[in-house]
Structure formats: C-alpha cells, structure tokens
Amino acid sequence: MTIDSVQPRREGALPPHRVVLNARSMPAYAYGHRSPIWWGTVGFAAAEGMGFALAIGAYFYLVFINGNWPLSAPPPDLFWSGLFTIVMLASAWPNSLAKRNGEREDLVRSRRDLVIMSLVGLVLLGIRVMEFTGLHVRWDQNAYGSILWVLLGLHTLHLVTDLGDTIVLTVLMFTRHGHGKRFSDVGDNAFYWYFVIASWVPIYLIIYWFPRWW
C-alpha cells in the first residue's frame, strides 16, 4: 500500500527535553512479577487455563446431557495414572529448587536442577504413554471416549511443550549463554511447570475418580 511508500519526514518541532530522572543505576533485569516475561507467562497460562476450564465444562455438560456416565465403558485404570500423579506432585520439590537456585544465580545448582527436571519430564511422558493404554475406551467410540481423550491429550500437549522448553533451557545453561537474564528464564520455566502440575490435579480427579463417584 501507499502508506509504506511515504518517506519519514520531520516537520515542525518536537518539544525540548527536560531530564528529571536517570536510569543508569536501574537493574537490567529482575525476577517474578517485576519481569515482563513473567506477565507473559501468566497471560498464556490464563488463556490455556481457560482452554482447560472449557474442556472440563464440556465434560460435565456431556455428563449432564447423558445422565449415565461413563456411558458404556468401564472407568479408566488407576495404576499408571496414580503413579503419574505421584511423580507429578513430587516434581514440585525439584521445581521449587530450580526456581530458588535460579534466583540465586547459582549456575552449578541450576544446571543440576534443570537436568533433574528434564529427566522427570521424560519419565512422566513415559508414564503418560502407559496411561493412554488403560483408558478402556477409544476416542471414536462415543462422546465419553472423545472428551476423555481430549482432556488427557490437552494435558499431554502442555507436558510435552514444557518438557521441550526445559530441555532447550538446560542445554542453553550448559553453553556460554548460561548467565544473567537466563536465570530469570529458569524461574519462568519453573513457574510454567507449576501450571502444568496445577492443571493436572482437577483433570486427574475428573478423568479417574469422577466416573467412579457418579
């Protein structure tokens, strides 16, 4: 469009400046809510949390429409899902260490914590694969099967995303880039992992326990 073709041009005077503040002594980055990235992470967690909430809403809507639940299938198995839940909840501890050591800008410990978190993520992914085998229903069998796979799939997507992020960050911390603002990224990555944990709890209860209580 022609808008692009217009040359920048300066006519008329801009008001002269009067310096009232100097930024030289301000820090170059900070942690938590002082950092824009943290707010961005919160924003994405909010949008994705809304996605979870809507999928859960759809689940209960289908329960309400049908009355009997879980339609014709037996409830899903508890073993692998239970193990997954235990490991998931337990991962909050190394995750909190990663966050703390990141904020202390302790490179050695941060590297160790990130390796642990990457391994934890891989283990969880393995358990998740096993979990899918114990659902006793296919996604194309009925609406119950569909929404079940949707919920579990949605959480798996977040698990995989954060695992990928963690692995890349781990590698990054072992390169010469592992200093300064990267430590702030370690904290934000840990924050997102908390979201993955927190979103699992309701989904676990809904997928595995709700059909038994209904």
Partner 1 sequence: MTQAITAHERDAVPEVTRLATGERGGAPGITSEADRPPDPQELRDDQVDGPELTARLAKTWGTEKGLIGALSTVDHKVIGRRFIVTAIIFLFLGGLSAVVMRLQLAQPENNLVGPDLYNQLFTMHGVTMMFLFGVPIGEAFAVYLVPLMVGTRNIGFPRLNAFSYYVYLFGGLMIWVAFMRNIGPDVGWFAYVPLSGPEFSPGKRADVWAQMITFTEVSGIAIAISTVVTAFKLRAPGMTLDRIPLFVWAELVNSFVIIFALPAVVTASAFLLMDRLIGTHIFNPAEGGDALLYQHLFWFFGHPEVYIIFLPATGWVSAIVVTFARRQVFGYIPLVLSLIATGFLSFGLWVHHMFTTGLPQLGASFFTASSMLIAIPNGIQIFCWIATLWDGRPVFRAPLLFVIGFFFIFVAGGLSGIMLASVPLDTQVHDTFFVVAHFHYVLIGGNVFPLIGAIYYWFPKFTGRMMSERLGKWHFGLAFIGFNVAFFPMHITGLMGMPRRVYTYMPEMGWANLNMISTIGAVLFFGSFLLFLHNIVASARRGALAGPNPWNAGTLEWAAASPPMPQNFDRIPVVTNREPLWAHRDTLPVVAGLSVENREQIVSTVTAGRADLRETTPEPSIWPFLTAIATTILFIGSMFTPWAFVWGTPPLALALIGWFWPKPSTEDEK
Tokens of 20: 């009232």
Which single residue is written with the structure tokens 């609406």?
A: 143
How many other C-beta atoms can be found within 10 angstroms of the C-beta atom of residue 201? 12
**Is the Cβ of residue 83 or residue 143 nearer to partner 1 in the bound state?**
143
- Choose which of 82, 96, 146, 156 interacts with partner 1 (CB under 8 A): 146
DSSP 32: G
Cα–Cα distance measured from residue 194 to residue 89, given in angstroms and rounded to the nearest whole number: 9
**Is the Cβ of residue 31 or residue 194 nearer to partner 1 in the bound state?**
31
- Choose which of 22, 108, 133, 213 interacts with partner 1 (CB under 8 A): 22
User: What is the Cα 182 distance to its own chain's centre?
Assistant: 18
Q: Which amino acid is at 185?
A: D
- Choose which of 97, 172, 202, 210 interacts with partner 1 (CB under 8 A): 172
When asked if residue 133 is in the footprint of partner 1 (CB under 8 A), the reply is no
Q: Which amino acid is at 130?
A: M
Residues in contact with partner 1, shown as a per-residue x/- string from 66 to 105 under the rule CB under 8 A: x----x-------------------------------xxx
Cα–Cα distance measured from residue 36 to residue 13, given in angstroms and rounded to the nearest whole number: 33
Count of residues in contact with partner 1, rule CB under 8 A = 75
Cα–Cα distance measured from residue 148 to residue 56, given in angstroms and rounded to the nearest whole number: 10
- Residues 37-66 interacting with partner 1 (rule: CB under 8 A): 37, 39-40, 43-44, 46-48, 50-51, 54-55, 58, 61-62, 65-66
- Choose which of 17, 108, 133, 213 interacts with partner 1 (CB under 8 A): 17
When asked if residue 192 is in the footprint of partner 1 (CB under 8 A), the reply is no
